[in-house]
Structure formats: structure tokens, C-alpha cells
A and B are shown apart, each in its own frame.
Chain A
């Protein structure tokens, strides 16, 4: 058995069924991808009205 197959079997045995999800892309990273790291601040609705907090 090739070592690659052994590793896959070992991963499956250990419960890493989703291991295939970790794929490595050989494509070069685009500069655009680097500029904005995440969209964590984007919400479905862009709220402009202020949030009114309870009193101090």
C-alpha cells in the first residue's frame, strides 16, 4: 500500500472524515484577496441610523 493511501485510511480511522475539505490550492493568491482580509463587518443590512444605548 502506498504511504498516501495509508495516511488517508489512518485519517478516516481517526474520524477525520471531513479531511478532504482541507484542500490546498496551487493557484497564486490574487493581490485583491490580500487587501481586505475578512468581511466580518459586513451585515446583510447596512445600518446608518444610530443605535441608541440605555442611559449612563
Chain B
């Protein structure tokens, strides 16, 4: 703890000038050096300076230690995904904001706040915090710098910049850098999560297993459920359907029993994906119906459920129009994104097949490419390649087939 910063904090708080405080104790230039932490004062000098402002050093130390413990708890909440408690800790810490700013805990404090805004999915606050941390980054210690880049990667992950996020993560366990022990599981989990988005399932499974082991050893049950969901999605994508199905059953039960309502709904939704793949449409529909009956699933999941229901309707030759109409109602006029793209895709598929190909090539493919939807890009490219192959338009067939790999044909 820097005593100079504490003296400066209380002097400013008491509206004292350096001249006023130093009077009778030391010279002004001496005090100035103490306050900027370039000089460590003799015990009697610091005690006299603090006593003049009615501050007791022992109490200060106790306060410092308490805040350090609180900061530890704050970040533990993020690691254990205890958001409610994290909000409470955040509230308490902000009451001590000014004091924290005067201590060497400030870097940790600002870094953990960054993680908090990411966990809260608050893009605007996270972005402001990123700009602020960039200014502070010159004063980071090596572990703080590791954390900064790790959280930065999560920030990119949150803004769907998968490639940038992964590149940052990949640099974090190379060379002399090691992962801080506390963050090991978190590092594996986040890496596995991003690798799924990139379509590197085998590698992702490896990191998910590491995360699962870490969470089990550290009794981190909620994160364990999250890692298991990643694993189930991974197995589904790799057609390891028996394994995926048994994980989903466990997840369904445990997320329900632990009151993780959001996770429970996500599990049902993803489980339906697996059931569709095995053409078990009746059961898939049952899970989706349970979600549709829930009034609190939020706009994103509502739209995803409708897209999923439309797919089932098309596969089982039922009328998809009511679901499509519901989906269009949920999509805002000005919305440009995944669901708008798919609503139009299904509309064309149902009502005007000839337009579908042009739409895939001119709108969908560039959209997925621009916004880094790797899997979707591969899917559309594959269909277009197959089409142009049939038409014997080899140039285009070759162009689109080059996207049929995990990099999506992009040079990274």
C-alpha cells in the first residue's frame, strides 16, 4: 500500500494545500515527493502528516485489506458465475470508488469492473471501460496485463468478433506467459466456446474437457453446467448423438434443480436441435412448445424457437406460414441481422423458389461473410457450390467450394 497516495487522498478530501499540511512537519517539496510515491517518508513524518488530518495508519491498513478481500470476492463471483452477488459487490465497491482510485488497487478494480460489464452484457459500459483501461495499461503489472488481454478477448467475443477474440486468447498461453491459476478453467472454457463458433470441434472438445476437469476439482458447479452445454453442442455438431443426448438429459435435470432458468431454456432449445438431427421431430416440437409457452424467454430465444419451428414444419410438411408470420412480427422494421435474413430466406423458400438462389448469393453469403458467421457461411457456400456445379459454371463452383473449411476460405 502506498502511503503517499493515502496522504494525498486525505489532503485533497480535507481541502488542504500542500503548504498547509507540510507546515511544521516537513518541506513542501518533501511532501510533494511523498505524495507522488517517489520518496518513502520516515515513520514519524508520515504519522505526523496523517495525525494532522485525524487519520490513523492502522485503521487505514485494515480498510485497505478489507477492500482487497472485497475485490477478490468480486472477481470470484465472475469466475463462479454468481451474477446476483457480483452486482451487490459492485454496489459496495462503488461506494469506495474515490478511495480505491487513490490506492494501488485501482488497476485491479477497473479490470474487474470491465469483466462485470461483460458479464452484464452491457456493451456501452464495457466499451467505455475498455477505452479507460487502455489509458491505464501503461501501469499494469504482468498479471494485470494478462487479465487485461483476457478480458479484452471476452469483449470481442461479446461483440461477435470471433477471430480477433481467438487470436488474443491464443497469444495468452505462449512463451513465458502462464495462465493465472485462478483463471485456468475460465481460459479453457472461453477458448472452447470460441472454437465452436469457428467450427473447430475436435480442438474445442479438448479445451472443454480441460474446463470440465478444472470446474469439477474447484466445485464450480454453474460453470460446470455451462461447460457441459458446450460439450453437448460439440457432440451434436460432430454427430456423436448418443453422447450428446445423455449430457442433455443430465443438463436438463441439473439446470432445473439448481434454478438456472436461463440455462434450462437454452438446454431445451439446443436439445431440440439434436432431436431434429435424428429426425425425431415430435419430441423436438414438444421441447419447443414448452419454450413457446414461457412468456419470459426474451426476444432472441423467441425468434430462434420460431426459426426452429419453421424448420420442423418444412420437414414434416406442415404449414410453416403461421410461424413465419409470428417471426416477422417479432422482427423490427429496421432490424438487420440473422433473423431477418432467415425470415426472408424461408419466405422465398416457401413462396418464390426461383429467387432463393439469387438471395443466397447476393444477400446471405455476403452478410455471413461480413459479420463472421462461419458455419452459416460454409452452409450457404456449399449450397451455391453444388448449384453451380450442376450448372457447370466451374468458376463460381470453385469459388464457393473454397469456403468449405473451417476458415471459411478466408485467409486469416
Contacts and interface: CB of A to CB of B under 8 A. Distances in A.
Nearest to B196: A53
Contacts of B277: 43-45, 47
Contacts of B386: 36
Given A36-B401, A42-B382, A56-B157, A51 B270 contact: yes
B57 interface: no
A4 B401 CA distance: 41
B369 to A, nearest CB: 16
Nearest to B383: A46
A14 to B, nearest CB: 32
Interface stretch (B41-49, B139-147, B212-220, B300-308): B300-308
A45 B279 contact: yes
Interface string A19-56: 00000000000011001110001111111111111111
A35 B154 contact: no
A56 B308 contact: no
B169 interface: no
Contacts of A51: 196, 233, 237, 270, 273
A36 B230 CA distance: 30
Interface in B210-244: 225-227, 229-230, 233, 237, 239
Contacts, number: 85
Contacts of B229: 53-54
Interface in B177-196: 190, 193, 196
Interface core residue of A41, A45, A47, A54 (most chain B CB under 10 Å):
A54
B75 interface: no
Interface residues of A, number: 21
B158 A32 contact: no
Contact of B385 (A35, A44, A45, A55): A35
A37 to B, nearest CB: 8
Contacts of B304: 49-50, 52
Contacts of B389: 32, 35-36
Interface residues of B, number: 50
Contacts of B227: 54
A43 B157 CA distance: 27
A55 B311 CA distance: 25
Given A35-B397, A46-B379, A53 B276 contact: no
Interface core residue of A32, A35, A43 (most chain B CB under 10 Å):
A35
Contacts of A54: 193, 225-227, 229-230, 263, 266
A56 to B, nearest CB: 5
Nearest to B190: A56
B338 interface: yes
Contact of A36 (B157, B239, B404): B404
Given A32-B389, A35-B389, A36-B385, A52 B379 contact: no
A48 B310 CA distance: 10
B257 to A, nearest CB: 17
A56 B158 contact: yes
B270 to A, nearest CB: 6
A36 B338 CA distance: 27
Interface string B369-412: 00000000011001001100100001001100100100000000
B342 interface: yes
Contacts of B397: 35-36
B256 interface: no
Contacts of B239: 43
Given A55-B226, A56-B118, A56-B190, A35 B308 contact: no
A49 B273 contact: yes
A47 B233 CA distance: 13
A35 to B, nearest CB: 5
B172 interface: no
8 contacts: A35-B401, A37-B401, A47-B273, A50-B304, A51-B270, A54-B225, A55-B81, A55-B119
Given A36-B386, A56-B154, 18 more contacts: A35-B389, A37-B404, A45-B277, A47-B273, A48-B307, A48-B342, A49-B273, A49-B305, A50-B304, A51-B270, A52-B269, A52-B270, A53-B193, A53-B230, A53-B233, A54-B230, A54-B263, A55-B226
